[in-house]
Structure 1
């Protein structure tokens, strides 16, 4: 099935090496299909997704939320997901 929209999100890996703490940002994609949303770790079927939302924390970072029947899932994003949310709403109609 062909993807309808994609949204890049960040997972931050934190570790300690040589008594120093470090952070590594790993980019992943949230992909919208006709019947589901897929992240690197999970699949959300659109029938189970109630809404998507976004909250900006600064000019560089924000949180993208998936509201589903399993709870609310958050994703750290660097780009406003307005187009992705609009594509989702078009598919849900």
Structure 2
């Protein structure tokens, strides 16, 4: 199935090497399909997704939220997900 939209999000990996703590950003994509959204670790079926929202924390990044019947999942993003949310609303409307 062809993706409808993609949203890049950041996962921060924290570790210890040579007795020093480090942080490393890893970019992943949240991918929207006609029936689901997929992250690197989760699959969210659109019938289970209630809403999407975004909160800007500063000019560098914000938090993107998926509200589902399994709870709220947050993703750190550098770009505002406005177009991703719009595509989601269009796809969700066609499902109902």
Match in the other structure for 1:49: 49
Residue by residue over 1:3-29, the C-alpha shift from the partner in whole angstroms, topping out at 9 and shown as x without a partner, is: 000000000000112221110100000
- Structure 2: unaligned runs, 5 residues or longer: none
Task: Give a deviation string over 1:26-62, Cα, whole Å, max 9, x none.
Answer: 0000000000000011100000000000001011110
| Structure-to-structure mapping, 1:53-92, within 5 angstroms | 53-92=53-92
Mean CA deviation greater in 47-56 or 11-20: 11-20
Whether 1:35 and 2:47 are equivalent positions in the alignment is: no
TM-score of the aligned structures, taking structure 1 as reference length:
0.98
Deviates more, 1:73-82 or 1:12-21: 12-21
In structure 1, runs of 5+ residues without a counterpart are: none
Q: Distance in 2 between matches of 1:60 and 1:86?
A: 22
Does 1:14 pair with 2:14? yes
Taking structure 2 as the reference length, the TM-score comes to 0.95
Runs of 4+ in structure 1 over 3 Å off: none
- Cα RMSD of the aligned pairs, angstroms, is 0.6
1:8 and 1:85 map into 2 onto residues whose CA distance is 13
Taking the aligned partners of 2:46 and 2:10, their CA distance within structure 1 comes to 22
